Amino acid sequence: MKVTVQSLLEKKRDNKKIAMLTAYDFPFAQIADEAGVDAILVGDSLAMVVQGMGNTIAVTMDEMIYHTRMVSRATKRAMVIADMPYLSYQISVEEALRNAGRFLKEAAAQAVKLEGGREVADRVRALTAAEIPVVAHIGLTPQALHRMGGYKVQGKTEDAANRLMEDAKILEDAGAFCLTLEAIPAELARRITAEVSIPTIGIGAGPDCDGQVLVLHDVLGLFERFTPKFVKRYGDLKGAALKAIADYKDEVEKGTFPDKEHSF
């Protein structure tokens, strides 16, 4: 059965952890879905781990739609959440609505995610009113890279922590059904998780969130430009791919591939 907004809310109520992972294409979305993750986020991290860019700023709506379509096509059970790219929701409520709607209409996403606190509450409210489920995202928000001066842990001072707590409540009140907490102290994430009734999904926010999300290419060992402290690598697909391709090259050069078994 497909994971829904209701089933994720139930998981929080029942104290069951939510596993979320990013994916950007058909084969990996199919694998993540088969492995049983609850939600697949088509993250704007696409820019960095697939497109090879230095940050997430440049990825476009059309590119995100293209990748979300592939992920939706591959996914039977997990909820598909599309990440709204930079400038797809910052300009106006109308633009936010039009762009978020495209993810549902053109790419079969079930929800969208957008970054920011109180300053995007009017977007969250408008999208929710238009029947578009919204995942909010506070703490380290990579689209604010230039204001933040780098990918730094947020909410470390008492004032900053209080502001994040307030933002969490404002976003819940605006209608967000889920809240991503990125790179904040574990104790603050624990307090926010206890204070809101929607599930919190942590990435670099400690063990007490209602769920966790990681970037697929980090989990599988396919991204090596840098590794944040919160990343745990569960596989070495780069190593496996290197070996397979080197073996293939070797056999072609030696003339042992194709053999009889692989010829007509």
Residues marked active site are found at 182
- Nearest to residue 167, comparing CAs of 120, 203, 211, 134? 120
The window from 41-49, 97-105, 154-162, 168-176 that contacts ligand KIV (CB under 6 A) reads: 41-49
Report the nearest approach of ligand KIV to the CB of residue 43 (Å): 2
Per CB under 6 A, the list member of 43, 85, 116, 175 interacting with ligand KIV is 43
Using Cβ positions, the residue closest to ligand KIV within the complex turns out to be 43
Residue 45 binds ligand KIV (CB under 6 A): yes
Binding string, residues 213-252; x marks residues near ligand KIV by CB under 6 A: x-x-------------------------------------
Report the nearest approach of ligand KIV to the CB of residue 263 (Å): 44
Residues between 134 and 193 that touch ligand KIV (CB under 6 A): 180, 182
Q: CB-wise, 50 or 174, nearer to ligand KIV?
A: 50
Per CB under 6 A, the list member of 38, 83, 167, 172 interacting with ligand KIV is 83
Residue 210 binds ligand KIV (CB under 6 A): no
Residue 65 binds ligand KIV (CB under 6 A): no
Count Cβ atoms within 10 A of the Cβ of residue 55 and give its class: 0-12 exposed, 13-18 middle, 19 or more buried: middle
Report the nearest approach of ligand KIV to the CB of residue 249 (Å): 33
Contact residues toward ligand KIV (CB under 6 A) are: 22, 41, 43-45, 83, 180, 182, 203, 213, 215
